[in-house]
Homo-oligomer: A and B are copies of this chain.
Amino acid sequence: MKPTHSATIKDVAKKAKVSIATVSRVLNNLTGYSDKTRQKVMEAIKETNYQPNAIARGLINKRTQTIGVLLPKVSVQFSSDILQGIGEYAQSHDYSVIVCNTDADGSRTLKYLQVLREKQVDGIIYTSEVLKPEYYEVIQAMKIPVVLVASESPYASVPYVKVNDWQASYDAVTYLIGKGHRRIAMISGTEKDPIAGRPRVQGYLKALADHGIPFDSKYLVHGNFLFDGGYRGMEEILQKAPEVTAVFAASDETALGVLSAAAKHGVKVPQDLSLVGYDNVKLAQMSVPALTTVQQPLFAMGQVAAAKLISMIMTGVVAENQLVPHSIVERETVGTIGND
Protein backbone atom coordinates (compact mmCIF):
# COMPACT_ATOMS: atom_id res chain seq x y z
CA MET A 1 0.00 0.00 0.00
CA LYS A 2 1.59 3.21 -1.16
CA PRO A 3 1.28 6.21 1.12
CA THR A 4 -0.65 9.03 -0.43
CA HIS A 5 1.60 11.65 1.08
CA SER A 6 5.33 12.03 0.65
CA ALA A 7 7.33 10.22 3.26
CA THR A 8 8.35 12.15 6.34
CA ILE A 9 10.96 11.50 8.90
CA LYS A 10 8.29 9.73 10.89
CA ASP A 11 7.70 7.18 8.18
CA VAL A 12 11.38 6.53 7.97
CA ALA A 13 11.61 6.13 11.72
CA LYS A 14 8.79 3.67 11.79
CA LYS A 15 10.20 1.61 8.97
CA ALA A 16 13.65 1.57 10.52
CA LYS A 17 12.23 0.97 13.98
CA VAL A 18 14.10 3.84 15.55
CA SER A 19 13.08 7.24 16.84
CA ILE A 20 12.79 10.27 14.64
CA ALA A 21 15.64 11.81 16.60
CA THR A 22 17.91 9.11 15.38
CA VAL A 23 16.77 9.50 11.82
CA SER A 24 17.45 13.18 12.07
CA ARG A 25 20.92 12.44 13.36
CA VAL A 26 21.93 10.28 10.48
CA LEU A 27 20.28 12.64 8.04
CA ASN A 28 22.44 15.44 9.32
CA ASN A 29 25.58 13.38 9.66
CA LEU A 30 25.77 13.95 13.37
CA THR A 31 27.35 11.50 15.74
CA GLY A 32 25.65 9.19 18.13
CA TYR A 33 24.42 6.06 16.48
CA SER A 34 25.83 2.68 15.68
CA ASP A 35 26.76 1.71 12.22
CA LYS A 36 23.99 -0.82 12.27
CA THR A 37 21.39 1.83 13.02
CA ARG A 38 22.76 3.92 10.25
CA GLN A 39 22.34 1.03 7.86
CA LYS A 40 18.76 0.50 8.89
CA VAL A 41 17.94 4.15 8.56
CA MET A 42 19.59 4.50 5.19
CA GLU A 43 17.64 1.57 3.96
CA ALA A 44 14.39 2.95 5.23
CA ILE A 45 15.18 6.24 3.49
CA LYS A 46 15.67 4.42 0.22
CA GLU A 47 12.54 2.37 0.62
CA THR A 48 10.30 5.24 1.53
CA ASN A 49 11.92 7.49 -1.03
CA TYR A 50 12.22 10.05 1.69
CA GLN A 51 13.14 13.66 0.88
CA PRO A 52 13.78 16.18 3.61
CA ASN A 53 11.37 19.06 3.92
CA ALA A 54 13.39 22.25 3.80
CA ILE A 55 10.46 24.27 5.04
CA ALA A 56 10.21 22.39 8.30
CA ARG A 57 13.94 22.51 8.59
CA GLY A 58 13.94 26.23 7.91
CA LEU A 59 11.37 26.90 10.54
CA ILE A 60 13.44 25.42 13.27
CA ASN A 61 16.88 26.37 12.03
CA LYS A 62 15.92 29.91 11.17
CA ARG A 63 17.88 29.44 8.00
CA THR A 64 16.23 28.92 4.67
CA GLN A 65 19.29 28.59 2.49
CA THR A 66 17.85 31.07 0.10
CA ILE A 67 18.86 34.56 -0.82
CA GLY A 68 16.90 37.28 -2.53
CA VAL A 69 18.21 39.20 -5.51
CA LEU A 70 16.71 42.54 -6.41
CA LEU A 71 17.41 43.82 -9.87
CA PRO A 72 15.96 46.40 -12.18
CA LYS A 73 15.06 45.40 -15.70
CA VAL A 74 17.22 48.13 -17.13
CA SER A 75 19.63 46.78 -19.66
CA VAL A 76 18.64 43.18 -19.28
CA GLN A 77 21.83 41.66 -20.55
CA PHE A 78 23.75 43.49 -17.90
CA SER A 79 21.54 42.25 -15.11
CA SER A 80 21.40 38.70 -16.26
CA ASP A 81 25.17 38.43 -16.47
CA ILE A 82 25.36 39.44 -12.84
CA LEU A 83 22.51 37.16 -11.94
CA GLN A 84 24.27 34.31 -13.64
CA GLY A 85 27.31 34.87 -11.46
CA ILE A 86 25.23 35.01 -8.34
CA GLY A 87 23.31 31.90 -9.28
CA GLU A 88 26.44 29.95 -10.02
CA TYR A 89 28.05 30.70 -6.70
CA ALA A 90 24.88 30.32 -4.72
CA GLN A 91 23.99 26.98 -6.17
CA SER A 92 27.41 25.53 -5.56
CA HIS A 93 27.12 26.61 -1.93
CA ASP A 94 23.65 25.23 -1.44
CA TYR A 95 21.70 28.40 -1.64
CA SER A 96 18.72 29.07 -3.84
CA VAL A 97 17.95 32.45 -5.26
CA ILE A 98 14.64 34.24 -5.46
CA VAL A 99 14.74 36.91 -8.14
CA CYS A 100 12.81 40.10 -7.87
CA ASN A 101 12.49 42.36 -10.86
CA THR A 102 12.10 45.79 -9.39
CA ASP A 103 11.74 47.27 -12.82
CA ALA A 104 12.86 50.70 -11.78
CA ASP A 105 9.73 51.11 -9.76
CA GLY A 106 10.17 52.07 -6.16
CA SER A 107 6.92 50.87 -4.65
CA ARG A 108 7.61 47.50 -6.09
CA THR A 109 10.93 47.29 -4.33
CA LEU A 110 9.28 47.80 -0.99
CA LYS A 111 6.77 45.12 -1.73
CA TYR A 112 9.48 42.70 -2.74
CA LEU A 113 11.43 43.42 0.38
CA GLN A 114 8.33 42.58 2.32
CA VAL A 115 7.95 39.27 0.56
CA LEU A 116 11.59 38.39 1.06
CA ARG A 117 11.19 39.11 4.70
CA GLU A 118 8.15 36.93 5.06
CA LYS A 119 9.89 34.17 3.19
CA GLN A 120 12.76 34.47 5.62
CA VAL A 121 15.56 34.73 3.13
CA ASP A 122 18.99 34.61 4.69
CA GLY A 123 20.35 37.62 2.84
CA ILE A 124 19.83 40.01 -0.01
CA ILE A 125 21.79 41.16 -3.02
CA TYR A 126 20.79 44.50 -4.35
CA THR A 127 21.81 45.39 -7.87
CA SER A 128 22.52 48.45 -9.99
CA GLU A 129 20.58 50.95 -7.99
CA VAL A 130 20.96 53.28 -5.09
CA LEU A 131 19.92 51.80 -1.80
CA LYS A 132 17.46 54.41 -0.69
CA PRO A 133 17.21 55.12 3.03
CA GLU A 134 13.68 53.74 3.11
CA TYR A 135 14.92 50.44 1.73
CA TYR A 136 17.87 50.41 4.03
CA GLU A 137 15.57 50.85 6.96
CA VAL A 138 13.38 47.88 6.24
CA ILE A 139 16.39 45.74 5.53
CA GLN A 140 17.82 46.78 8.86
CA ALA A 141 14.62 45.64 10.49
CA MET A 142 15.00 42.27 8.80
CA LYS A 143 18.33 41.76 10.51
CA ILE A 144 19.88 40.01 7.55
CA PRO A 145 22.94 40.95 5.54
CA VAL A 146 22.81 42.80 2.25
CA VAL A 147 25.41 43.38 -0.38
CA LEU A 148 25.34 45.71 -3.32
CA VAL A 149 26.59 44.93 -6.82
CA ALA A 150 27.23 47.57 -9.40
CA SER A 151 26.13 50.10 -6.87
CA GLU A 152 27.45 51.67 -3.72
CA SER A 153 26.17 53.00 -0.46
CA PRO A 154 27.22 55.13 2.45
CA TYR A 155 26.18 52.46 4.93
CA ALA A 156 29.06 50.78 6.67
CA SER A 157 27.07 47.62 7.18
CA VAL A 158 26.35 47.28 3.47
CA PRO A 159 29.39 46.34 1.43
CA TYR A 160 29.45 46.72 -2.30
CA VAL A 161 31.27 45.23 -5.23
CA LYS A 162 31.70 47.35 -8.28
CA VAL A 163 34.07 48.79 -10.77
CA ASN A 164 35.59 52.19 -10.14
CA ASP A 165 33.33 53.99 -12.56
CA TRP A 166 35.13 57.24 -12.38
CA GLN A 167 38.43 55.62 -13.15
CA ALA A 168 37.06 53.40 -15.88
CA SER A 169 35.60 56.37 -17.61
CA TYR A 170 38.80 58.32 -17.16
CA ASP A 171 40.73 55.45 -18.70
CA ALA A 172 38.41 55.14 -21.66
CA VAL A 173 38.69 58.79 -22.52
CA THR A 174 42.42 58.77 -21.96
CA TYR A 175 42.60 55.84 -24.32
CA LEU A 176 40.81 57.86 -26.97
CA ILE A 177 43.13 60.78 -26.37
CA GLY A 178 46.04 58.42 -26.76
CA LYS A 179 44.72 57.55 -30.18
CA GLY A 180 45.01 61.17 -31.14
CA HIS A 181 41.45 62.31 -30.52
CA ARG A 182 40.77 65.69 -28.96
CA ARG A 183 37.22 66.44 -30.00
CA ILE A 184 35.65 63.75 -27.90
CA ALA A 185 31.96 63.72 -27.10
CA MET A 186 30.26 61.72 -24.41
CA ILE A 187 26.77 60.28 -24.29
CA SER A 188 26.19 59.65 -20.64
CA GLY A 189 23.74 57.45 -18.83
CA THR A 190 20.87 58.82 -16.86
CA GLU A 191 21.98 62.29 -15.89
CA LYS A 192 21.28 62.17 -12.20
CA ASP A 193 22.28 58.58 -11.58
CA PRO A 194 24.85 58.84 -8.80
CA ILE A 195 26.40 55.46 -9.50
CA ALA A 196 26.78 54.98 -13.22
CA GLY A 197 25.71 58.40 -14.39
CA ARG A 198 27.63 61.20 -12.75
CA PRO A 199 30.90 59.44 -11.92
CA ARG A 200 31.40 58.49 -15.53
CA VAL A 201 30.82 62.05 -16.62
CA GLN A 202 33.30 63.21 -14.00
CA GLY A 203 35.88 60.79 -15.29
CA TYR A 204 35.37 62.11 -18.79
CA LEU A 205 35.75 65.69 -17.64
CA LYS A 206 38.85 64.99 -15.65
CA ALA A 207 40.54 63.09 -18.44
CA LEU A 208 39.93 66.00 -20.76
CA ALA A 209 41.24 68.47 -18.22
CA ASP A 210 44.33 66.43 -17.43
CA HIS A 211 45.24 66.46 -21.07
CA GLY A 212 44.68 70.12 -21.59
CA ILE A 213 41.55 69.72 -23.64
CA PRO A 214 38.96 72.36 -22.87
CA PHE A 215 35.50 71.06 -22.23
CA ASP A 216 32.84 72.08 -24.69
CA SER A 217 29.35 71.65 -23.30
CA LYS A 218 27.98 70.76 -26.74
CA TYR A 219 30.07 67.62 -26.49
CA LEU A 220 28.21 66.21 -23.52
CA VAL A 221 24.75 64.83 -24.06
CA HIS A 222 22.71 62.81 -21.63
CA GLY A 223 21.25 59.47 -22.51
CA ASN A 224 19.63 56.72 -20.50
CA PHE A 225 21.90 53.69 -20.88
CA LEU A 226 19.61 52.45 -23.62
CA PHE A 227 19.76 52.14 -27.37
CA ASP A 228 17.43 55.00 -28.11
CA GLY A 229 19.39 57.31 -25.83
CA GLY A 230 22.48 56.55 -27.86
CA TYR A 231 20.68 57.00 -31.13
CA ARG A 232 19.20 60.34 -30.24
CA GLY A 233 22.37 61.44 -28.54
CA MET A 234 24.34 60.76 -31.67
CA GLU A 235 21.92 62.69 -33.83
CA GLU A 236 22.18 65.60 -31.47
CA ILE A 237 25.94 65.52 -31.62
CA LEU A 238 25.96 65.25 -35.38
CA GLN A 239 23.86 68.34 -35.54
CA LYS A 240 25.45 70.49 -32.88
CA ALA A 241 29.03 69.32 -33.13
CA PRO A 242 29.75 67.51 -36.38
CA GLU A 243 33.46 68.11 -35.88
CA VAL A 244 33.60 65.47 -33.16
CA THR A 245 35.97 62.59 -33.96
CA ALA A 246 35.16 60.25 -31.13
CA VAL A 247 32.28 59.35 -28.87
CA PHE A 248 32.41 57.69 -25.51
CA ALA A 249 29.11 56.00 -24.67
CA ALA A 250 28.16 55.14 -21.10
CA SER A 251 26.92 51.68 -22.02
CA ASP A 252 27.22 49.21 -24.85
CA GLU A 253 23.58 49.57 -25.69
CA THR A 254 24.05 53.28 -25.96
CA ALA A 255 27.03 52.66 -28.21
CA LEU A 256 24.95 50.49 -30.49
CA GLY A 257 22.49 53.33 -30.76
CA VAL A 258 25.38 55.53 -31.81
CA LEU A 259 26.40 52.98 -34.40
CA SER A 260 22.90 52.92 -35.87
CA ALA A 261 22.57 56.67 -36.00
CA ALA A 262 26.01 56.96 -37.53
CA ALA A 263 25.12 54.46 -40.23
CA LYS A 264 21.89 56.28 -40.90
CA HIS A 265 23.76 59.52 -41.49
CA GLY A 266 26.53 58.03 -43.51
CA VAL A 267 29.14 58.44 -40.83
CA LYS A 268 31.63 55.60 -41.02
CA VAL A 269 32.96 53.97 -37.85
CA PRO A 270 35.87 53.96 -37.22
CA GLN A 271 36.98 55.94 -40.29
CA ASP A 272 34.94 59.07 -39.63
CA LEU A 273 34.19 58.48 -35.99
CA SER A 274 35.67 56.44 -33.20
CA LEU A 275 33.47 54.90 -30.54
CA VAL A 276 34.01 53.33 -27.14
CA GLY A 277 31.27 51.63 -25.16
CA TYR A 278 30.95 50.51 -21.57
CA ASP A 279 30.09 47.12 -20.02
CA ASN A 280 31.38 44.62 -22.53
CA VAL A 281 28.17 42.78 -22.61
CA LYS A 282 27.75 40.02 -25.18
CA LEU A 283 26.31 42.55 -27.58
CA ALA A 284 29.62 44.27 -27.92
CA GLN A 285 31.10 41.46 -29.95
CA MET A 286 28.12 41.13 -32.19
CA SER A 287 27.92 44.55 -33.75
CA VAL A 288 29.45 45.58 -37.04
CA PRO A 289 32.03 46.83 -36.48
CA ALA A 290 32.63 45.03 -33.19
CA LEU A 291 32.67 47.41 -30.29
CA THR A 292 35.73 48.59 -28.43
CA THR A 293 34.53 48.94 -24.88
CA VAL A 294 35.24 49.15 -21.17
CA GLN A 295 34.84 45.76 -19.67
CA GLN A 296 33.15 45.20 -16.35
CA PRO A 297 33.54 41.65 -15.07
CA LEU A 298 29.81 41.25 -14.58
CA PHE A 299 29.74 37.53 -14.05
CA ALA A 300 32.58 37.67 -11.56
CA MET A 301 30.96 40.57 -9.79
CA GLY A 302 27.90 38.44 -9.25
CA GLN A 303 29.99 35.64 -7.89
CA VAL A 304 31.93 37.89 -5.57
CA ALA A 305 28.76 39.47 -4.28
CA ALA A 306 27.27 36.07 -3.55
CA ALA A 307 30.46 34.99 -1.84
CA LYS A 308 30.45 38.06 0.36
CA LEU A 309 26.82 37.65 1.23
CA ILE A 310 27.14 34.02 2.12
CA SER A 311 30.18 34.71 4.20
CA MET A 312 28.23 37.38 6.05
CA ILE A 313 25.39 34.97 6.60
CA MET A 314 27.74 32.38 8.02
CA THR A 315 30.04 34.52 10.09
CA GLY A 316 27.99 37.57 10.86
CA VAL A 317 30.91 39.83 10.09
CA VAL A 318 30.47 42.56 7.51
CA ALA A 319 32.48 42.01 4.35
CA GLU A 320 34.79 44.61 2.86
CA ASN A 321 33.85 46.75 -0.07
CA GLN A 322 35.46 45.58 -3.23
CA LEU A 323 36.48 47.44 -6.34
CA VAL A 324 36.91 44.99 -9.16
CA PRO A 325 39.25 45.64 -12.07
CA HIS A 326 38.02 47.00 -15.35
CA SER A 327 39.88 47.02 -18.64
CA ILE A 328 39.52 48.23 -22.16
CA VAL A 329 38.85 45.57 -24.74
CA GLU A 330 39.93 46.73 -28.12
CA ARG A 331 37.88 45.71 -31.09
CA GLU A 332 37.06 47.61 -34.21
CA THR A 333 35.44 50.92 -33.44
CA VAL A 334 38.43 53.08 -32.65
CA GLY A 335 40.71 54.64 -35.22
CA THR A 336 43.88 56.65 -34.84
CA ILE A 337 44.12 60.29 -35.72
CA GLY A 338 47.31 62.08 -36.72
CA ASN A 339 48.28 65.29 -34.95
CA ASP A 340 46.62 68.41 -36.22
Is the pair B66, A88 in contact by a Cβ cutoff of 8 Å?
no
Contact A76 B282 (CB under 8 A): yes
Q: Are A286 and B253 in contact (CB under 8 A)?
A: yes
Contact B55 A120 (CB under 8 A): yes
User: How far apart are the CA atoms of A91 and B143 in the complex, in Å?
Assistant: 24
Asked whether any CB of chain B lies closer than 8 Å to the CB of A39, the reply is no
Question: What copy number does this chain have within its complex?
Answer: 2
- Is residue A288 within 8 Å, beta carbon to beta carbon, of the partner chain? yes
When distances are taken between beta carbons in the complex, the residues of chain B under 8 Å from A182 are none
Stretch at the interface among A94-102, A190-198, A234-242, A311-319: A94-102
CB atoms of B101 and A119 under 8 A apart? no
Question: Are A55 and B64 neighbours in the complex by a CB distance under 8 Å?
Answer: yes
CB-defined interface of A250-264 with B at 8 Å, one 1/0 digit per residue? 000100110110010
Interfacial chain B residues near A253, Cβ < 8 Å? 286
The reply on A118 being an interface residue by CB < 8 A is: yes
Whether the pair B99, A53 counts as a contact (CB closer than 8 A) is: no
**Which B residues lie within 8 Å of A108 (CB)?**
91
CB pair A286–B53 under 8 Å, yes or no, is no
CB < 8 Å neighbour of A51 from B58, B117, B289: B117
**Does A19 sit at the interface, judged by CB under 8 A?**
no
Q: Which residues of B contact A66 (CB under 8 A)?
A: 98, 119
Q: In the complex the two chains form, is A84's CB within 8 Å of B55's CB?
A: no
Please judge, given known A-B contacts A66-B98, A101-B84, A115-B96, whether A260 and B282 are in contact too, CB under 8 Å.
no
Interface of A is mostly: helix
In the assembled complex, A271 has its CB within 8 A of some CB on chain B:
no
Cα distance A91–B102 in the bound complex, in angstroms:
10
Taken together as a complex, chains A and B put the C-alpha atoms of A286 and B79 apart, in Å, by: 18
CA distance A6 to B144 in the complex (A): 12
Contact: A227 with B97, CB < 8 Å? no
Q: Does A213 reach chain B (CB closer than 8 Å)? A: no
B288 touches A287 (CB 8 A): yes
> Across the interface, do A260 and B59 meet the contact criterion of CB distance under 8 Å?
no
The residues in A between 37 and 64 inclusive whose CB is less than 8 angstroms from any CB of B are: 49, 51-56, 58-59, 64
A87 CB–B CB distance under 8 Å:
yes
- Structural contact, B120 and A101, CB atoms closer than 8 A: no
CB-based contact B87/A290 at 8 Å: no
Let me know if A87 and B115 touch, CB within 8 A.
Answer: no
* A117 contacts across to B, CB distance below 8 A: 51
A77 close to B (CB within 8 Å) = yes
With A56-B59, A88-B101, A256-B286 known, 16 other A-B pairs at CB within 8 A are A53-B118, A55-B58, A55-B59, A55-B119, A55-B120, A76-B81, A77-B77, A80-B80, A97-B99, A98-B99, A227-B285, A227-B286, A283-B286, A286-B287, A287-B287, A287-B288
21 inter-chain pairs at a CB distance below 8 angstroms, sorted by A residue, are A51-B117, A53-B59, A54-B118, A54-B120, A55-B64, A55-B119, A66-B98, A66-B119, A73-B84, A77-B77, A91-B100, A96-B98, A96-B100, A97-B98, A98-B99, A256-B286, A256-B287, A257-B286, A259-B288, A263-B289, A286-B287
Which A residues lie at the B interface, using CB under 8 A? 6, 49, 51-56, 58-59, 64, 66, 73, 76-77, 79-81, 83-84, 87-88, 91, 96-101, 108, 112, 114-115, 117-120, 141, 143, 227, 253, 256-257, 259-260, 263, 282-283, 285-290
